[in-house]
């Protein structure tokens, strides 16, 4: 009797081991299959992320190209000189010195440059470096004063035609010839000339 029980226990144990081994094999296979799927999905996700980054870069590049077609960009080739009127016989009677700006401004962009001009900032050579000029002048050029008194002198002078501070526009690829005289108090020695414009009226 004891032998039969032992054989039954052994048979049940063998069956249990086989079933347990089968279950373990199934779960290990399932886990391995799921890990493979996860690795594959991670690779696909990385590939899609790379594709999105590539497309984003292309979109950015295309936006830049579109911007180039619709925006202006002004470049200058200018020379500026402070004319001290008392130093020359022909201008001795003129009570103000003037900054003379000549050269050219070119719109190297494709879009129209609206409100185009030159912003001029200049400091006095003497004393505490007083700001003598801080104005924006049209590319069309002309003769200007930096305050109402100097403006009145320029306007009433027979030598200098009246000039407007109205800014104009410059088409893509177009070049403006610059000829500007800015009458001012004092004597300037340090200046900056910066082209300014807007991309819409």
Note whether 110 and 94 are same-domain residues. yes
Domain match, 47 and 81 both: no
How big is the chain by its Cα radius of gyration, in Å?
41
Residue 59 sits in the same domain as residue 111: no
- Look at residues 70, 96, 130 and tell me which one is the last residue of a structural domain: 70
Range of the domain at 81: 74-198
Q: Are residues 91 and 31 in the same domain?
A: no
User: What pLDDT, on the 0 to 100 scale, is given for residue 155?
Assistant: 83
Q: Are residues 181 and 122 in the same domain?
A: yes
| Same domain for 87 and 179 | yes
Statement: residue 26 has pLDDT above 60: yes
Q: Does the pLDDT value for residue 3 go beyond 60?
A: no
pLDDT value, residue 138: 97
The CA-based dihedral angle spanning residues 131, 115, 67, 110, taken in that order and rounded to the nearest 10 degrees: -110
pLDDT given at position 127? 60
pLDDT tens for 114-166 read 999 999 999 997 766 789 999 999 999 999 999 999 988 888 875 666 688 99
Q: Kindly give, in sequence order, each residue whose CB lies less than 8 Å from that of residue 93, ignoring residues fewer than 6 positions away.
A: none
User: How confident is the model over 86-117, as pLDDT tens digits?
Assistant: 888 877 888 999 999 999 999 999 999 999 99
Q: What is the pLDDT of residues 28-61, one digit of tens each?
A: 778 877 777 888 778 888 888 888 888 888 777 7
Cβ atoms of residues 196 and 115 within 8 Å: yes
pLDDT at 58: 78
Sorting pLDDT into bands at 50, 70 and 90, what band is 84? Answer: very high
Query: Could you identify the residue written with the tokens 């979109």?
Result: 59
Last residue of a domain, one of 39, 70, 101: 70
Phi, psi of 94 (to 5 degrees): -80, 125
Q: Determine if the pTM surpasses 0.85.
A: no
Shared-domain flag, residues 107 and 32: no
For residues 120 and 106, state if they share a domain: yes
Looking at the structure, tell me whether residues 97 and 130 fall in a common domain. Answer: yes
Look at residues 70, 100, 130 and tell me which one is the last residue of a structural domain: 70
Domain co-membership, 84 together with 182: yes
Identify which of 183, 78, 69 has the alpha carbon closest to the alpha carbon of residue 132: 183
**Distance between CA 5 and CA 170 in Å, rounded?**
108
């Amino acid at each position: 009797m004891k032998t039969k029980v032992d054989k039954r226990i052994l048979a049940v144990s063998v069956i249990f081991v086989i079933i347990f081994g089968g279950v373990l094999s199934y779960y290990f296979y399932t886990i391995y299959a799921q890990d493979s799927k996860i690795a594959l999905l991670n690779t696909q996700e990385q590939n899609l992320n790379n594709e999105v980054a590539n497309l984003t870069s292309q979109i950015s590049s295309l936006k830049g190209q579109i911007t180039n077609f619709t925006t202006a960009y002004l470049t200058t080739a200018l020379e500026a000189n402070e004319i001290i009127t008392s130093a020359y016989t022909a201008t001795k009677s003129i009570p103000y010195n003037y900054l003379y700006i000549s050269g050219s401004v070119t719109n190297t962009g494709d879009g129209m440059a609206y409100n185009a001009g030159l912003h001029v900032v200049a400091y006095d050579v003497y004393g505490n470096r007083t700001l003598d000029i801080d104005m924006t002048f049209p590319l069309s050029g002309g003769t200007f004063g930096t305050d109402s008194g100097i403006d009145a002198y320029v306007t009433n002078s027979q030598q200098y035609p009246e000039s407007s501070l109205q800014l104009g526009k410059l088409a893509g690829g177009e070049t403006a010839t610059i000829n500007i005289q800015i009458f001012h108090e004092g004597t300037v020695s340090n200046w900056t000339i910066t082209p300014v414009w807007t991309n819409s009226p």
